Amino acid sequence: MHAKVTAHPRFTRARIDDRLYGAFIEHLGRAVYGGIYEPDHPSANAHGFRTDVLDLVREIGAPVVRYPGGNFVSAYNWEDGIGPVEDRPTRLDLAWHTRESNEVGIHEFADWCDAANIDMMLAVNLGSRGIDAARNFVEYVNHPSGSYWSDARIANGRAEPWDVKLWCLGNEMDGPWQIGHKTAEEYGHLANETAKALRAFDPSLELVACGSSNAEMPTYPEWEATVLDRCYEAVDYISLHMYFTNYADDLRDYLALSQKMDRYIGSIAGVIDYIQAKKRSRHQVAICFDEWNVWYHSTEQDKQVLQGSDWPFAPPLLEDVYNFEDALLIGCVLNTLIRRADRVKIACIAQLVNVIAPIMTETGGVAWRQTIFYPYAFAARHGRGTVLDMDVDVACYDTAGEANVPMLDITGVHDTDAGTVALFMINRSPDDALSLDIDLQGFGTARLIEHQVLQHSDLKAANTASRPNEVAPVEGESLACEQARLSGRLDPLSYHCVRIQVGATTAA
Ligand code: AHR
């Protein structure tokens, strides 16, 4: 099978906002306790954070992390997490049926973000609480001094405000499971009023309104239309969430699911355009895809905790063990986000550590990279710059749910400062190698810098504590760059990250 691709520096889609490669950490399962925070762990630093986990987080280089939830935030009192740790209350977390010690609150999480070199994106509770708690939290986090909450922060040991720009107005408020679930009209009104209050404090904040929890919700996409109708001018982003499953164990269907995400983005972009036109507005709301990942491996085993009668502290929850085919899909999903970078400005893999995560830990033991770590880290590290609008000529296949799924999923990102092009490619075909020919002549010259390949003979192969490198990238040898053409072979079911040094571009 052949794939002919043409890339040219003048044909571009959008400049990527680096926050497209964000992450998410929720007070859920072992994400915080036993994940990022474990004071008794041999690698723990003076703040109690695991440095082995910090190293892996820094290796990814995610620019922003959403916190503290998720479903958790809808009954969370942010004040429970400030002040002397020994005085903090233990609460029942109604979202995940566990106990929350509040040992980690905003100060500790901010310290962790500093160490991880990552910005915070904070969510306010619009479920059990509302405008008042939200405005107080923002004042605590962002006001320099001389007010009740800013002075409380200073008294609690932090002189400088954290100056967090990005705020989520609740989480999944369309979901009947959510504490304080609301109708679209109710939520749209509350989001608008909360945004007004937060903007009265600081008009430069970036605010995210909740979109639907997923594209199967009965209220989707009317939810987005109604919510945006009520708060369009007051917010900057509408959130989207999507989780992928392979219960039917059908590889062709599974690898086609990124197209579903593409349609989801397209539909919500259409809703945004409709409301913008209806309001005769010049304001542009963008998409914040702040939860996406594969999530299904752990659902059965989690029922015990979620439906149990006790309230365990930091039990293993949502601990999906990802296999090689998951990594292939995640490569396609990231490519979708990159291709849609004209509308999707922020996205967060859900989540980062232990809970449906690229990084896993044993409490008291080792930390390792799951299979999905690799496509995520490659994209986060190298997918910075301008998305190329490439011409791709390759065979497609159809599934029950999707039509025209290309055998080659490819994106290219041009970093004009560094003079490099990064290519992210997945051969979706289970049977055929792809003979690849990419014309890069518009870039003048092209020299192969790096070719990393993720491949495994067993689709279900996974990394574990005892076999952490079962699925790991190796240097590729099947591609070569000559006369500004990249050509060679992509094996069936393989993922590739290629970096190319490009020369001076041709004149316009
Ligand atoms: O990421 C896990 C959960 O998925 C989040 O808490 C919630 O927002 C979503 O339903």
Enumerate the active-site residues.
172, 291
What atom of ligand 1 comes closest to residue 243's alpha carbon? 4
Q: What are the tens digits of pLDDT across the range 347-368?
A: 999 999 999 999 999 999 999 9
For residue 23, report the distance from its CA to the centre of ligand 1, in Å: 13
- Specify the pLDDT at position 40: 97
Provide CB contacts within 8 A for 20, sequence distance 6+.
337, 338, 341, 344, 345, 346, 347, 383
Beta strand pairing status for 405-406 and 408-415?
Answer: unpaired
Contact 301, 250 (CB under 8 A): no
For residue 174, report the distance from its CA to the centre of ligand 1, in Å: 12
- Residues belonging to the chain: 508
Pick from 173, 241, 297, 348 the residue to mutate for probing ligand 1's pocket: most ligand atoms within 8 Å of its CB: 241
Protein residue whose Cα sits closest to atom 1 of ligand 1: 350
Q: How far apart are CA 424 and CA 420, in angstroms?
A: 13
- For residue 488, what are the β-bridge partners? 436, 479
Q: Which residues of 246-266 are buried (b: 16+ CB within 10 A; e: fewer)?
A: beeeebeebbbbbbbbbebbe
Q: How far apart are CA 329 and CA 256, in angstroms?
A: 8
For residue 118, report the distance from its CA to the centre of ligand 1, in Å: 21
What atom of ligand 1 comes closest to residue 24's alpha carbon? 1
- Specify the pLDDT at position 307: 85
| Identical fold between 2-10+387-502 and 17-382 | no
Q: How many other CB atoms sit within 10 Å of the CB of residue 121?
A: 26
Helix (H, G, I), strand (E, B) or coil at 22: strand
Give phi and psi for 313, each to the nearest 5.
-95, 125
Protein residue whose Cα sits closest to atom 8 of ligand 1: 70
For residue 72, report the distance from its CA to the centre of ligand 1, in Å: 8
Q: What are the tens digits of pLDDT across the range 128-163?
A: 999 999 999 999 999 999 999 999 999 999 999 999
Q: How far apart are CA 82 and CA 156, in angstroms?
A: 7
Q: How far apart are CA 460 and CA 69, in angstroms?
A: 30
For residue 451, report the distance from its CA to the centre of ligand 1, in Å: 35
Q: Which residues of 20-57 are buried (b: 16+ CB within 10 A; e: fewer)?
A: bbbbbbbbbbbbbbbbbbbeebeebeeebbbebbbebb
Protein residue whose Cα sits closest to atom 3 of ligand 1: 70
Residue 351 Cβ contacting ligand 1 at under 6 Å:
yes
Contact 379, 424 (CB under 8 A): yes
Dihedral angle at the C-alpha atoms of 438, 439, 441, 442, nearest 10 degrees? -100
What atom of ligand 1 comes closest to residue 171's alpha carbon? 8
Token pair belonging to 343: 């509308």
Protein residue whose Cα sits closest to atom 4 of ligand 1: 70
Residue 350 Cβ contacting ligand 1 at under 6 Å:
yes
Residue 239 Cβ contacting ligand 1 at under 6 Å:
no
Residue with tokens 């870039």: 443
State pTM to two decimals.
0.97
Q: How many other CB atoms sit within 10 Å of the CB of residue 131?
A: 16
Low-confidence residues of the chain: pLDDT under 70:
504-508
What atom of ligand 1 comes closest to residue 70's alpha carbon? 6
The yes/no answer on whether domain 2-10+387-502 falls in CATH 2.60.40.1180 is: yes
Contact 339, 426 (CB under 8 A): no
Cα distance between the two ends of the chain: 34
Let me know if 168 is exposed, middle or buried by CB neighbors in 10 A (0-12, 13-18, 19+).
Answer: buried
- Specify the pLDDT at position 230: 98
How would you write 314-374 as a 3-class SS string?
CCCCCCCCCEHHHHHHHHHHHHHHHHCCCCEEEEEEECCECCCCCEEECCCCCEEECCCHH
Token pair belonging to 47: 């703040």
Domains of the chain by residue range: 2-10+387-502, 17-382
What atom of ligand 1 comes closest to residue 213's alpha carbon? 10
CA angle 137, 141, 144 (to 5 degrees): 125
Side-chain-side CA neighbours of 463 within 13 Å: the count stands at: 24
- Specify the pLDDT at position 472: 98
Contact 345, 331 (CB under 8 A): no
Task: For domain 17-382, give the CATH number.
Answer: 3.20.20.80
Side chain identity at residue 475, one-letter code: E
- Specify the pLDDT at position 508: 40
CA 314, 315, 320, 321 dihedral sign is: positive
